[in-house]
Amino acid sequence: MTKNIMSCETVALDNEHNVLLIVDQTKLPGRVEILSLTKQEDIHRAISSLQVRGAPAIGVAAAFGAYLAACGISSNDYDDFSRKFKKSCDYLASSRPTAVNLFWALGRMERVVSGSKNLPVSEIKDMLRDEAIRIRNEDAEVCRAIGEYGLTLVNDGDGIMTHCNAGQLATVRYGTALAPIHLGRSRGYGFRVFACETRPLLQGARLTALELMDDGVDTTLICDNMASSVMKRGWVQEVFVGCDRVAANGDSCNKIGTSGLAILAKYYDIPFYVCAPTSTIDMSAKSGQDIHIEERAPDEVTELWYRERMAPAGVKVYNPAFDVADSELITGIVTERGIARPPYSDSLASIQNMRNL
């Protein structure tokens, strides 16, 4: 592979040909492959199989998928069009259960249709395209703002630990947890990043390490169970992670292993920051107990990344895709509207009220 991954668009719309373009992240780091998707089944599969992943990128892909679904509806009768469009959105929503951005983006697309009853269907389709593009462009702006706020929390030369991939590959640009690192690198900051490999799907090893190295960042890959050893040596000054859903009390759901990292950071007195677009904050979830945790196939643990099985056939496997870092373990939640601090029930509500103005 010779193409720098930072020059690739994670998710985009080929407006001329009405095609959703995504980087197939299951092929990284060995090969950069751009998928061209038009069928709803293929877009659903791309989200569920992690060809496109990361809460913001999933939301953008779903928005473009909804627009393409609308393009495929031939009816000019509003009621018929609306019913079929809702069915397509429900189908896309079933692709992943945890990332709230998926439902948030599809909700925005559905509101375009529900608020346009007196308009021709052809005009509604144009409005859906514009809304999907708006969602995409907003994501880049949001991530940059998160990066700017995150930069206020670090110093040049700091060691930063991260988990999973919350960078450009998980968004349209910059990323969430990696946004301060990418912005800082462009301004001459000399961060040292420790990327946890992130078992069982190795997003840290395959994606974060690739992305940071292609951006010229000093990057060290560690196995997940090495985090305590690295922290104990004093090599880590901050931990930055992304998230797929934040509850109203600040409990934050992110890739499995994040909760343990938060506990370690608390023990070693290292600030632990969650980077979250306000679209990821779910005020209807009172706490992490209200967040549905996706469980994935056993073969991701036993054989997916190995030439031969690494576990005996028939062994029981528990494979949750996410866990929840309790709010008392979190130093701050970095959003595009500012940094929320404890008590999160107050600060997150204030930030969401700003968003709704």
Structure confidence by residue, pLDDT tens digits, 330-344: 999 999 999 999 999
| Residues 170 and 154 both lie in one domain | yes
- CA–CA separation, 329 vs 10, rounded Å? 31
| Residues 93 and 158 both lie in one domain | no
Mean pLDDT of 243-263: 98
Please indicate whether residue 251 is annotated as part of the active site: no
- CA–CA separation, 147 vs 14, rounded Å? 28
Tell me the average pLDDT of the chain. Answer: 97
Q: What angle in degrees, to the nearest 10, is found between the helix axes of 40-48 and 55-71? A: 170
Cis ω before 200 (30° cut-off from 0): yes
Catalytic one among 158, 215, 224, 244?
Answer: 244
Structure confidence by residue, pLDDT tens digits, 307-329: 899 999 999 999 999 999 999 99
| Residues 191 and 128 both lie in one domain | no
| Residues 320 and 340 both lie in one domain | yes
**What domain count does the chain have?**
2
Residue 1 has pLDDT above 60, yes or no: no
Supply the CATH number for residue 89's domain: 1.20.120.420
| Residues 16 and 112 both lie in one domain | yes
252, 161, 237, 227 alpha-carbon torsion, rounded to 10° = 100
CB 144 within 8 A of CB 186: no
| Residues 318 and 193 both lie in one domain | yes
| Residues 134 and 170 both lie in one domain | no
pLDDT band at 357 (very low <50, low <70, confident <90, very high): low
- List, in sequence order, the alpha helices (H) in the chain: 40-48, 55-71, 78-93, 100-114, 121-151, 179-186, 203, 209-214, 227-232, 258-267, 299-302, 344-356
Supply the CATH number for residue 192's domain: 3.40.50.10470
Cis ω before 343 (30° cut-off from 0): yes
* Residue at token pair 């030369």: 157
| Residues 11 and 127 both lie in one domain | yes
Contacts of 114 (CB under 8 A, 6+ apart): 82
- CA–CA separation, 92 vs 272, rounded Å? 33
Q: How many CA atoms lie within 13 Å of 339's alpha carbon, on the beta-carbon side?
A: 15
Range of the domain at 308: 146-356
Of 123, 143, 163, the one marking the end of a domain is 143
| Residues 183 and 320 both lie in one domain | yes
The pTM of the full predicted model, rounded to 2 decimals, is 0.95
Assign 3-state DSSP to the chain and report helix, strand, coil percentages, each to 5: 45, 15, 40
Of 91, 116, 143, the one marking the end of a domain is 143
| Residues 100 and 177 both lie in one domain | no
Q: Comparing C-alpha atoms, which of 66, 10, 80 is closest to residue 38?
A: 66
| Residues 109 and 198 both lie in one domain | no
| Residues 167 and 316 both lie in one domain | yes
Of 143, 171, 186, the one marking the end of a domain is 143
Structure confidence by residue, pLDDT tens digits, 193-205: 999 999 999 999 9
- CA–CA separation, 4 vs 71, rounded Å? 33
